[in-house]
């Protein structure tokens, strides 16, 4: 067996790592794996810190963030070739960046830059075995590869997620139904699910949810008696719409629906809360692990973790937006991934800021709402952008539609792909066009296309808008 090695730890100390930590966790939420290998120690350490820091004052949080940022920048300058080059070209050293606001001295990092400089973004003081290659799905139109720290990045991520879910009462011993794009091949008895996490998680295939199979899904969920449903919003909506249409009672044991990895639209939140009769909890993050924010017990505002990263919102000119209610692109700097630092990373996500403080008592900065990807905006004939977030897809015209998806290839022209229910009529088409014109305005023409099926992404996600026009933050 290889001898243990030591490598720098982002908390400023050192963590002993043995060869078992080289195991790649396909599912970061598998506690069984975490308890068997050293990454569990990383999880516990991060989780313990977050349990303390969640009630820190604003000054304490800012001090922690500034220290963590300083440590990251020192490391990047000394060990990451790309950032040494960036600093030197600008005549800077890490000490010139004393606060998160000073990050404006550095350039933005885009997906294209990451792809072109990936080899130089790898920290030279880590062994090759520490790098776990990860690739985004490319939902923004630009897939990207980068690196996690093997056995560490996912453990830290789960610590943050667990602290978020603590807010709605989640415990490791709770039963949870998972509807998140998993492919579960049907068993000999036709079951499209399997158990995990010592039998406490029921992972159900989201690719096989049809009118024919949903009664068995509902029956199995009811017999499983879960306290939580962990789902992509679009997948939970399939279940909820079927239950409402067939007047099926809510699951009495479900305490909350945990929604993430897709934007949660207001109409989805309302539908899920109505059908399941419980709290719908949402969070916002990305695969690159540069930003993480979630709701709390008392508010639907997104509480940004300052321990996780530094978040900026920029406007059309690339400068910070000003004032509550202003909309901007999320630019984020991760504070926990030292093997492949992403500093001032342009996420291509759009969010709305707020200066409010939450009544829950946490002093985290807040986002009023997340509008979604830049590619989730519709372009009018005159070039203005319309967010799909406020569109009401639960109006009367949508009642006889099984599935739908929008697609835009030309300015001012929107194609609506529809999978009809048997009761759908020509009058529904006319009503649908009238409602969309009322919501979108006169600068968008709506064209209806009937299809037999609307595919999901390889990751099992559903995209309500396929935007083929290039959109930049300057278009907002």
Residues 246-272 have pLDDT tens digits of 999 999 999 999 998 888 888 899 999
Q: Answer whether residue 294 shows pLDDT above 70.
A: yes
* 158 and 283 part of one domain: yes
Q: Give the tokens for residue 73.
A: 């920048």
Q: Across the chain, what does the average pLDDT equal? A: 86
Give the residue, 135 or 3, on which the prediction is more confident.
135
Q: Is 467 within the bounds of a domain? A: yes
The answer to whether residue 238 sits within a structural domain is no
Sign of the alpha-carbon dihedral angle for 153, 155, 156, 160? positive
Reported as a single tens digit per residue, the pLDDT across 104-149 is 999 999 999 999 999 999 999 999 999 999 988 655 456 789 999 9
Mean pLDDT computed over 404-425: 91
20 vs 184 pLDDT, higher one: 184
Q: Output the CA–CA distances (angstroms, integers) from residue 212 to 206, 218, 232, 461, in the order listed.
A: 14, 11, 21, 21
Segment 87-109, tens digit of pLDDT: 999 999 999 999 999 999 999 99
Q: Which of 122-136, 278-292, 383-397 has the lowest mean pLDDT?
A: 383-397
Domain span including residue 299:
1-168+255-372
- Is 85 in the same domain as 63? yes
Res 188: pLDDT = 63
Residue 190: inside a domain, yes or no? Answer: no
Rounded Cα distance between 255 and 300, Å, is: 16
pLDDT of residue 1: 30
**DSSP summary character for residue 121:** G
> What sign does the dihedral 303-272-249-200 (CA atoms) show?
negative
- pLDDT value at 235 more than 70: yes
Give the CATH number, domain containing residue 443.
3.30.300.30
Whether the per-residue pLDDT at 313 is higher than 90: the answer is yes
Cα 297 to the chain's mean position, in Å? 19
Are 411 and 368 in a shared domain? no
What is this structure's pTM? 0.83
Name 180's Cβ contacts closer than 8 Å, sequence gap at least 6: 206, 230, 231, 232, 235, 261, 460
Which residue, of 322, 352, 372, is where some domain finishes?
Answer: 372
**pLDDT-based confidence at 474, cuts 50/70/90?**
low
Confidence of residue 295 (pLDDT cuts 50, 70, 90): very high
Same domain, 336 and 415: no
What is the DSSP code (8-state) at residue 215?
A: H
Contact indicator for 372, 390 with CB cutoff of 8 Å = no
Residues 91 and 138 in one domain: yes
Q: Which among 372, 401, 435 is the end of a domain?
A: 372
Contact present, 337 and 277 (Cβ < 8 Å) = no
* 299 & 447 share domain: no
Q: What is residue 39's predicted lDDT score, i.e. its pLDDT?
A: 83
CATH of the domain at 147: 3.40.50.12780
DSSP category for residue 12: S
Residue 290 domain-assigned?
yes
Q: What is the CA radius of gyration of the chain?
A: 23
Domains identified in the chain, total number: 2
Identify whether 412 is part of a domain: yes
Mean pLDDT across the stretch 415-421? 91
From CA 104, how far away is CA 344, in angstroms rounded? 8
Domain final position from 311, 341, 372: 372
360 CB burial (10 A radius; 0-12, 13-18, 19+): middle
- For residue 374, give Cα distances in angstroms to 68, 138, 345, 389, 461: 30, 13, 15, 12, 17
For residue 308, what pLDDT is reported? 97
Q: Say how far apart CA 39 and CA 464 lie, in whole Å.
A: 37
Residue 277 CB neighbour total at 10 angstroms: 12
Three-state DSSP class for 129? helix
What are the E-state strand segments in 126-175?
Answer: 131-135, 145-149
If asked whether residues 275 and 366 sit together in one domain, one would say yes
In a domain, 335, yes or no: yes
């Amino acid at each position: 067996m290889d001898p243990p090695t030591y490598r720098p730890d982002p908390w400023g100390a050192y963590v002993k790592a043995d060869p078992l930590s080289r195991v790649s966790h396909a599912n970061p939420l598998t506690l069984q794996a975490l308890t068997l290998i050293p990454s569990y120690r990383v999880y516990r350490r991060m989780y313990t810190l977050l349990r303390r820091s969640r009630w820190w004052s604003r000054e304490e949080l800012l001090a922690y963030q500034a220290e963590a940022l300083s440590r990251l920048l020192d490391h990047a300058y000394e060990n990451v070739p790309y950032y040494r080059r960036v600093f030197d070209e600008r005549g800077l050293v890490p000490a010139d960046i004393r606060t998160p606001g000073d990050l404006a001295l550095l350039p933005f990092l885009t997906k294209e830059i990451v792809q072109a400089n990936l080899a130089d973004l790898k920290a030279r003081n880590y062994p090759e075995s520490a790098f776990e290659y990860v690739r985004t799905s490319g939902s923004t139109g630009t897939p990207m590869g980068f690196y996690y720290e093997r056995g560490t990045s996912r453990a830290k991520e789960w610590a943050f997620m667990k602290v978020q879910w603590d807010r709605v009462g989640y415990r490791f011993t709770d039963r949870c139904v998972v509807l998140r794009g998993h492919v579960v091949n049907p068993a000999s008895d036709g079951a499209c699910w399997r158990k995990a996490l010592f039998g406490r998680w029921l992972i159900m295939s989201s690719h096989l949810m049809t009118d024919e199979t949903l009664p068995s899904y509902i029956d199995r969920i009811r017999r499983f008696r879960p306290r939580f449903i962990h789902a992509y919003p679009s997948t939970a909506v399939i279940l909820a719409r079927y239950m409402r249409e067939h007047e099926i009672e809510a699951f009495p044991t479900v305490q909350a629906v945990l929604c993430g990895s897709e934007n949660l639209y207001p109409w989805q939140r309302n539908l899920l809360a109505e059908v399941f009769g419980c709290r719908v909890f949402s969070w916002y993050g990305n695969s690159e692990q540069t930003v993480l924010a979630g709701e709390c017990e008392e508010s639907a505002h997104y509480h940004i973790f300052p321990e996780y990263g530094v978040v900026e919102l920029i406007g059309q000119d690339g400068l910070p937006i000003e004032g509550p209610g202003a909309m901007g692109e999320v630019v984020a700097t991760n504070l926990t991934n030292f093997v492949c630092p992403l500093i001032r990373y342009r996420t291509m996500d759009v969010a709305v800021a707020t200066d409010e403080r939450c009544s829950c008592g946490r002093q985290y900065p807040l986002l009023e709402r997340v509008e979604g990807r830049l590619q989730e905006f519709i372009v009018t004939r005159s070039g203005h952008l319309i967010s799909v977030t406020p569109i009401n897809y639960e109006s009367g015209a949508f009642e006889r539609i099984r599935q739908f998806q929008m697609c835009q290839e030309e300015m001012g022209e929107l194609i609506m792909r529809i999978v009809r229910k048997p009761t759908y009529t020509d009058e529904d088409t006319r009503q649908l066009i009238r409602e969309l014109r009322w919501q979108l305005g006169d600068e968008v023409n709506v064209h209806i296309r009937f299809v037999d099926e609307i595919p999901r992404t390889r990751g099992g996600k559903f995209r309500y808008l396929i935007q083929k026009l290039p959109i930049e933050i300057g278009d907002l």
